[in-house]
Amino acid sequence: MILQALQALFTPVSLLAVFIGTTSGVIVGGMPGLTATMAVALLIPITFSLEPLTGLLLMGGVYCGAMYGGSIPAILLRTPGTPAAVATAIEGYPMTQQGRGGLALKVSVIASFTGGIFSTFILLLIAPVLAVFALTFGPPEYFLLAILGLAGIVSMADDENSLVKALISGLIGLVLAVVGTDPISGMLRYTMGLTDLFDGVAFMPALIGMFSIAQMLELTGSKSVVADRSQVTKIKREPLPRGISKPIWLGSLIGTVIGILPGEGATIAAFVSYNVARRRSKNPKTFGKGNPEGIAAAEAGNNGCVGGSLVPTLTLGIPGNSVAAALLGGLLIHGLIPGPELFTTYGVMTYAFILSLFVANVIFLILGLFMAPYFARISLTPPSLLIPVVCLFSLLGSYAMNNSILDIFVALLFGIAAIILQKAGFSLGALILGLILGPIAETGFAQALIIGHGSYSIFFSRPQALVLWAIILMLLAAPLYQIYRASPN
Amino acid sequence: MITKRLTELIILSGFLVLAVLLYRSTASYSPMVQGSTAMYVRFLGVTLGLLCALEMLLWFRKRGQAEVEKLMIAKDPRRFWGLFFLLLLYAVAVSTLGFYPTSALFLPLGMLLLGARKPLIIGLTSAGVLLFIYLVFAKLLEVPLPEGTLF
């Protein structure tokens, strides 16, 4: 069956579909506000007139390409193309400012490629077994998974942000995530009567505001994005940094596992991978100041999510994240019902689709390596031209997610607030983490308490929960001990 | 003079008030969620309040030792606030004028504000960006753009 799938894949039409899909994905992912979910959803009606396999290959290519593409503006302009690229921006943009944007792009594409290939292998080899394991996760485990992500806040405390301020920032993120509809009762909370807030504070405009708008406002006082312009032309010669393989493999593994869990997205995978890499790094103090290990872990994490999220999608019909949900819509339109039949009756098509993800990863690797030096030159554009253009794309991206003018104001509000909070020593990374994980934490916590009839023992009663507690404690112990040691009193 | 330390105190006080309001607001939650989501929100309120109080305590303890550092939000305040108000103006005007006219005004004005002086480059960049948005966003991807009430 695999041989037949390879035959179906290696035809000119199929390869062209993967190429077009991947290239479009890189472009879409590179534009703020245009996400992989949106691109796949837009493709569904187009694929209807195509052969089912060609349509699937197009969608798979877009998914892979967009995950990588989001890192390009994140690194060069601190404007994450997709929410999953936020963690990349934290390390990538300082590297661009140091004139090492090309190297950051190179690290990003290699990490993305490794994460993508690793997770596709997992999808190919052990998809059904892993899908069943993922289904054993209930609300207590999802709550603990959110706590696992939030534990990263502790490691965000550094010279600029004290531990208490980092925790306050994370809590503010969690508080902002409470705005909207109560997940249990459906009651509206803190929406001030604005219908645009019924679904909560839109995540993408907040991100665009905090990272892109804030950065563009900061840049108004600079003559150039890059401190040393001569460095930008030297990027072709700079070798990959040492010790980069460890965070890449770590991110690939974490991304794949998180991707398999239904509802968990690439953004969370990228942040968890980033935080774990930061803790395990020999130079944790250089994180946030342009450490390539952070880019490697985050990009391997979000691309690892691609194959992981397809595990429950293809085997159980439960999408791993929103892009996988859009892809599931594409499968169903072509009459492909997820489940065992997909791997038997329609095995040739399914395996050709899975194998096409390998090809898509190779395509964006070549594209990324070849284009990195040219992409990096964007940072040489004079700020007087660059800033208004990036601001326009940022505002457009904020609007495009929900067609909401309010979201443009949200982006501006978050932009100016981010600058003031950062100057006062609060951690934007922790705030983002709270905003991302808030809904998962609240829903998991509330549902678990309802299931447990109000008893907190439900968070300790199952082996999966105990394993997660152990991991959380392990992750917290080292940074807390370091902070205690570093404290003068 | 607004110092960095004073800004910290103002922000922390604001968060403390927010924590109290958040805690009190859970009383109006439906009885069915008092043991679940209301509990979660109360926990956030209490933790936020305690941490803010702790940070304020540390602030007062360090009051004499810390150096006085002026809060500098922008290196070039004219350009910084000029751009911010231009962005605000854009957000207000876009729902009346529509995307293309507002953007056609915003881009050259923004470039002029930030120091660009060559009319040809300003014109070509603005036109090129708008053409790109029209072709890729509007035509190819059919992304809805803000529509104005006037045009």
DSSP of A291-349: -HHHHHHHHHHHHHHHHHHHHHHHHHS--SSHHHHHHHHHHHHTT--SSHHHHTTTHHH
Closest partner residue to B44 (CB to CB) among A171, A392, A423 is A171
Looking at per-residue pLDDT, the higher value among A42 and A369 belongs to: A369
Q: What is the tens place of the pLDDT at every residue in A374-407? A: 776 777 788 899 899 989 988 888 888 788 899 9
Whether residues A190 and B25 touch (CB distance < 8 A) is answered with yes
What pLDDT, in 10s, does the model give residues B15-43?
999 999 999 999 999 888 888 899 999 99
**Residue contact B87–A213, C-beta within 8 A:** yes
Report ipTM for this prediction: 0.92
B88 and B37, same domain (yes or no): no
Pairing type for strands A188-189 and A180-181 reads antiparallel
Share of chain A above pLDDT 90, in %: 16
Q: So what's the pLDDT on residue A59?
A: 87
- Is residue B103 one of the residues assigned to a domain? yes
Helix (H, G, I), strand (E, B) or coil at B115: coil
Cα A70 to chain center, whole Å? 9
Percent of chain A with pLDDT over 70: 86
d(CA A99, CA A373): 11
d(CA A347, CA A23): 26
| Chain B: residue whose CA lies nearest to A417 | B11
Contact A17, A358 (CB under 8 A): no
In a shared domain, residues B132 and B85: yes
B16-33 residues labelled b (16+ CB within 10 A) or e (exposed): bebbeebbebbeebeeeb
Flag if A424 and B47 touch (Cβ within 8 Å): no
Q: Give the pLDDT band of residue A101 (cuts 50, 70, 90).
A: confident
* Of the residues B34, B61, B88, the one at which a domain ends: B61
Q: Which of A384, A409, A443, A456 to mutate to test the interface with B (most CBs of B within 10 A)?
A: A384
pLDDT in tens, A295-340: 999 999 988 888 888 887 787 776 666 677 777 777 777 777 776 6
Choose, out of A161, A168, A442, the residue to mutate when testing the contact with B (most B CBs < 10 Å).
Answer: A168
Whether B134 and B86 share a structural domain: yes
Q: What residues of A are in contact with residue B7 (Cβ under 8 Å)?
A: 420, 423-424
Threshold 0.90, pTM exceeds = no
Residues 6+ apart with CB under 8 A from A239: none
Cβ distance A173 to A434 under 8 Å? yes
pLDDT mean across residues, chain A: 82
Taking CB atoms and an 8 Å cutoff, what residues of chain B touch A187?
29-30, 33
A114, two tokens? 């490794």
Tally the residues of chain B.
Answer: 151
Q: How far is CA A390 from CA A34, A114, A166, A409, B121, in A?
A: 14, 30, 29, 16, 16
A164 CB neighbour count, 10 Å cutoff: 18
Residues in chain A: 489
Which two three-digit tokens encode residue A182? 């109560």
Q: How far is A357 from A363, CA to CA, in rounded Å? A: 10
Under 8 Å CB pairs connecting chains A and B tally to 172
Is B151 part of a structural domain of the chain? no
Name which of B141, B145, B149 to mutate to probe chain A: the one with the most chain A Cβ atoms within 10 A of its Cβ: B141
Domain containing B98 equals 77-140
* Domain total of chain B: 2
Specify if B55 maps to a domain.
Answer: yes
Comparing CA positions, the residue from A31, A26, A28 lying closest to residue A41 is A28
B137/A409 touch (CB, cutoff 8 Å), yes or no? no
Rounded to 10 deg, the angle between the A52-69 and A36-47 helix axes is 160
- Contact by Cβ (8 Å): A65, A364: yes
- Identity of the residue in A421, A425, A449 whose CB atom sits nearest the CB atom of B39: A449
B87 vs A: CB within 8 A: yes
| A184·B33 Cβ contact <8 A | yes
Distance, in Å, from the CA atom of A28 to the CA atom of A62, rounded to the nearest integer, reads 8
Q: Is residue B35 assigned to a domain?
A: yes
CA distance A67 to A85: 8
What would the DSSP string read from start to end of A93-121? HHHHHTT-HHHHHHHHHHHHHHHHHHHHH
Residues B85 and B136 in one domain: yes
Tell me if B143 and A400 make a contact (CB, 8 A cut-off). Answer: yes
State whether residue B21 sits within 8 Å of chain A by CB: no
Task: State whether residue B29 sits within 8 Å of chain A by CB.
Answer: yes
B82 shares a domain with B132: yes
Per-residue model confidence as pLDDT tens digits over A255-305: 888 888 765 678 888 888 888 888 888 887 788 888 899 999 999 998 888
Q: Are A318 and A312 in contact (CB under 8 A)?
A: yes
Average pLDDT over residues A1-6: 82
How far apart are alpha carbons B136 and B86 in whole angstroms?
25
Q: Which among B55, B84, B94 has CB closest to A165?
A: B55
B99 chain-A contacts, CB cut-off 8 A: 396
